[in-house]
Structures are given as structure tokens and as C-alpha cells.
């Protein structure tokens, strides 16, 4: 509870304000946590525990697989000695919020009691009514997730869908031909399976790109397979390590011949050429019907990512967005220092918008800074106020609560200094959290009843 009366009054109003969640990784029919591991070992929590000394820094088994009980319990037991060292973080706050509000658990998680807590969560793992109740308690009016996680469509009334398939411009640790490999994985297939982040394995593909003609045939196939009637967006990542430059056919053909010995220059050629060809085809085929969402400012480390971005990349993004006025671009930013620069781009590029707080920006102090800058610099129709990036609805709940609390504090400061009055502050919050996602993302709130 906020100690400042104005902030508390605003928080109460925001708790009554519905939210649309513009980006998640929830799975149809399996919305909730499967056990304590899904809450305690959310990937951002794993990074903190690893920093605290826990031996494992990798994510647990990812969808379309699931951690079995042995894996989940082994990782929980391994993490227990390090929980206390990370109790200060905002992610730890989110864990406590989930356990207290949703499962009535207020005690520290210890070697003596964690199995009882795990059993409590597992007992409700298949309780679909409970999962829907969590969504309702979070005040979420609709959720967007990956179409590859649709399963049998059990939650189609709750979900919108986004296509995460190939990541032509997401660098991978120690690779230089990722753009080609990502395209090869999709060539001849349909977007039916999820794309794990940093999975590390590279199974052989059925088709191999050897020529420029292969590149164009594979891109045409990719665009043809986009399930335009079933999705509202595509989602990818733009790595700052790539030098996004115009690439000629001759340069691309020459770089293809050097694939076996490819380095950073070839990586930049492959990614720049394929990405630009894809955007051109997407604009021609689906411009005006599809939102091109991309994450920005998180680069690969052996287990997860760090937050960094070059000014060069920001300038190249502006050129990219400007070349494709028929596409709507939306950025998930993970770099606080780049937020002001991105705001200036949105002020001059009408087909670019910003969405909420991704990965390394999802900490209250950074969210407050980002909120303040965007509220001061951008009209409300260029900023989406929330997405959870959650893998279970418990984390959707926690993140929605955290954002409401931070936003109430930011708005209270602006009311106190006379920038807004109370009613304007509440209407501004509603615009960011509920109205703008409808206009920019094409989201439609669930029908009630």
C-alpha cells in the first residue's frame, strides 16, 4: 500500500483500470504454473540466483517440452541456499506477491517447507477456472501470445496471437550465419512450433541455402506461410551487433560463397539482406494488416542476455522504419539509456511506437524513468503501457501489479507538480494500458459474460 494519500488514491483507480497484455508466452490450455519452479525459477529469477552463486544459470526445459518433476525439484533444491541473497530484488518482490496474493503463502521458502508449497501449486496446475480467476484478478482484458503455443485453441477467447518463427536479426552466441539458418529452418515448413531462446542446438535442416535464388525462394515461402487471418503481429529481435547496411545482390552472393568461414562481416551481410527483403515482401503483402513488433537492446550471453545498444543501431533503425512507411513498427526496449533516443524517433516517424518495459527494463526504478520520459515526450497513441512477457498467468498477475504501483507513483508526482489533475492522470493511464493497445496492436477486449 502506498504511504502517500494521492498515490494510494491513484493506485486504487488504476486497480480498477483494465489492462491489455500485448506480449506473452502463455500456452493454450495450460495457463498456470505447473509447480513452484514456474514461479520461483522464472528466467529473470534464475539470472539473479546465478549471480548470487547458484551453479545453474540456464533456463529449465522450454516449451514445447516441460520440466519433469525430477528436473524441477533438482533445480529448486539447488536454488534454495541462494534465495536469501536475492531477497532484495524486485523479481523477488514479484515472487512474494504471487505466493501471498494467489496461494496465501507468506513464509520464506526453505528446505523444510518448499515441498508443501510445490504441492499446493501443483494441485491447481490443471484448474482452468483458477487460471481464469487469476487473469480476472489481474484486471487483464485480453492477452497476446505466440500462435505456436495455441495448442488446440482452448483459450482462443482469451488470446490474440503473434507469429514468432524465424529470427533473422537475433545474434546467437558464437554464430555468424544465424540469419541463413533461421530461414532454412522455415523453408518448406509452416509456423507450427515455438522458437526457444538461446536453445544452443542446431539440428540439420531439410533444405540448405546455397544461392541467391534460394534466398529469394525461401523468403517468398516464409511470407506465404504467414497465417494473416489468425495473428495480429509478428515478433522478432534486432541485435545491435549487426551493422544494418544496404546489401547488393552481388555482395550477398559473394558472402554466401564464404559461409563455411563466415565472420562478423558475413553475419551482417546475411542479416541485413534477408531482413530488408523480408520487410519489403511483408509491406507489399500485408502492410496495414500486421504489426511488426521487435525487441531491442538485449544481446546474447552464454545463458541469457545483457542490456546494450549502439547509437549506430538506433540511427539505422530510423532509416529502416523510414524505408517502410506501409508497415507499423513497435519496439520492446530493454535499454533504459536508449529510451530517450527512441522517443525522439517516434516523434518523427509516425509508423513507430514503443511498448512497455522488456527484460532489463522491468525493474521499478527503470520503469519509472521510462514512464516519465515517454509521458513527457510522446502522445498517448504512440505508447503501449503493458506487456508481461509471462510464461504463466501468475507472473502476468505480478507484473500487472508492479506496473500499476509504479505508474501510480509516477502519476502522483506529475499531479503534485501540476502537470496533470487527478482525473487526467487516470484517463491517461487508461489510454496507455487499455485504449492504445486496441488501436496500435489490433487487440479486442474479451466479451464479458
Q: Residue 202: its pLDDT value, please?
A: 83
Same domain, 62 and 152: no
Q: Which of 123, 152, 175 is the last residue of a domain?
A: 123
- Taking the C-alpha atoms of residue 235 and residue 249, their distance in angstroms, rounded to an integer, is 26
pLDDT at 267 over 90: yes
Handedness of CA 159, 162, 165, 171 (dihedral sign): negative
Same domain, 240 and 354: yes
- Total tally of structural domains belonging to the chain: 2
Q: Residue 43: its pLDDT value, please?
A: 95
Whether 422 contacts 415, CB under 8 Å: yes
The H helix count followed by the E strand count for the chain is 17, 10
Q: Which of 89, 123, 157 is the last residue of a domain?
A: 123
Same domain, 47 and 151: no
Position 41 in a domain: yes
The arithmetic mean of pLDDT across residues 57-86, rounded, is 96
Q: Residue 200: its pLDDT value, please?
A: 56
What does pTM read for this prediction? 0.95
Q: What's the domain range around 80?
A: 34-123
Position 199 in a domain: yes
Same domain, 105 and 230: no
Position 8 in a domain: no
| 293 CB-near residues (< 8 Å, 6+ apart) | 23, 162, 233, 234, 235, 236, 329, 330, 331, 332, 355
The arithmetic mean of pLDDT across residues 418-433, rounded, is 98
* Nearest Cα residue to 420 out of 376, 389, 377, 382: 376
Q: Percentage of residues in the chain with pLDDT exceeding 90?
A: 93
Distances (CA, A) of 103 to 19, 117, 122, 257, 321: 23, 9, 11, 58, 45
CB-neighbour burial class of residue 385 (10 A; exposed 0-12, middle 13-18, buried 19+):
buried
Distances (CA, A) of 413 to 324, 371, 372, 382: 38, 12, 10, 22
Q: What is the mean pLDDT of the chain?
A: 95
pLDDT at 156 over 70: yes
Q: What is the pLDDT of residues 3-57, one digit of tens each?
A: 799 999 999 999 999 999 999 999 999 999 999 999 999 999 999 999 999 999 9
Amino acid at each position: 500500500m502506498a504511504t502517500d494519500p494521492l498515490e494510494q488514491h491513484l493506485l486504487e483507480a488504476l486497480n480498477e483500470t483494465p489492462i491489455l497484455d500485448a506480449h506473452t508466452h502463455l500456452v493454450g490450455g495450460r495457463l498456470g504454473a505447473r509447480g513452484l519452479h514456474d514461479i520461483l525459477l522464472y528466467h529473470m529469477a534464475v539470472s539473479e540466483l546465478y549471480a548470487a552463486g547458484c551453479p545453474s544459470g540456464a533456463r529449465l526445459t522450454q516449451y514445447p517440452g516441460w520440466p519433469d518433476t525430477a528436473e524441477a525439484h533438482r533445480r529448486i533444491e539447488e536454488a534454495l541456499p541462494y534465495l536469501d541473497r536475492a531477497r532484495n530484488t524486485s523479481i523477488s518482490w514479484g515472487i512474494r506477491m504471487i505466493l501471498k496474493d494467489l496461494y496465501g503463502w507468506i513464509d520464506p521458502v526453505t528446505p523444510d517447507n518448499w515441498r508443501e508449497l510445490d504441492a499446493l501449486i501443483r494441485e491447481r496446475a490443471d484448474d482452468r477456472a483458477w487460471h481464469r480467476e487469476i487473469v480476472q484478478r489481474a484486471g487483464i482484458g485480453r492477452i497476446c501470445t505466440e500462435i505456436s503455443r495455441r495448442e488446440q485453441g482452448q483459450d482462443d477467447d482469451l488470446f490474440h496471437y503473434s507469429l514468432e518463427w524465424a529470427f533473422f536479426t537475433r545474434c546467437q552466441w558464437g554464430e555468424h550465419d544465424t540469419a541463413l539458418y533461421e530461414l532454412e529452418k522455415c523453408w518448406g515448413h509452416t509456423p507450427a512450433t515455438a522458437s526457444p531462446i538461446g536453445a544452443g542446438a542446431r539440428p540439420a535442416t531439410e533444405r540448405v541455402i546455397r544461392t541467391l535464388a534460394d534466398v529469394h525462394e525461401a523468403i517468398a515461402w516464409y511470407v506465404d506461410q504467414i497465417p494473416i487471418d489468425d495473428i495480429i503481429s509478428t515478433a522478432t529481435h534486432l541485435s545491435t551487433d549487426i551493422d544494418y547496411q544496404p546489401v547488393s545482390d552481388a555482395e550477398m552472393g559473394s558472402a554466401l560463397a564464404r559461409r563455411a568461414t563466415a565472420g562478423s562481416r558475413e553475419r551482417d551481410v546475411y542479416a541485413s539482406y534477408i531482413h530488408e527483403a523480408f520487410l519489403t515482401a511483408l509491406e507489399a503483402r500485408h502492410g496495414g494488416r500486421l504489426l511488426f513488433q521487435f525487441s531491442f537492446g538485449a544481446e546474447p550471453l552464454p545463458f541469457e542476455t545483457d542490456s546494450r545498444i549502439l547509437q549506430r543501431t538506433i540511427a539505422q533503425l530510423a532509416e529502416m522504419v523510414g524505408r517502410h512507411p506501409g508497415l507499423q513498427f513497435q519496439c520492446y526496449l530493454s535499454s533504459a539509456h536508449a529510451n530517450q533516443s527512441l522517443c525522439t524517433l517516434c516523434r518523427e516517424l509516425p509508423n513507430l511506437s514503443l511498448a512497455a518495459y522488456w527484460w532489463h527494463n522491468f525493474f521499478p526504478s527503470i520503469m519509472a524513468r521510462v514512464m516519465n520520459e515517454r509521458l513527457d515526450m510522446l502522445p498517448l497513441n504512440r505508447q503501449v503501457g503493458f506487456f508481461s512477457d509471462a510464461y504463466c498467468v501468475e507472473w502476468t498477475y505480478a507484473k500487472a501489479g508492479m506496473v500499476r504501483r509504479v505508474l501510480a507513483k509516477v502519476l502522483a508526482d506529475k499531479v503534485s507538480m501540476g502537470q496533470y489533475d487527478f482525473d487526467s492522470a487516470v484517463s491517461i493511464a487508461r489510454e496507455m494500458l487499455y485504449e492504445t493497445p486496441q488501436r496500435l496492436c489490433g487487440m479486442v477486449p474479451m466479451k464479458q459474460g
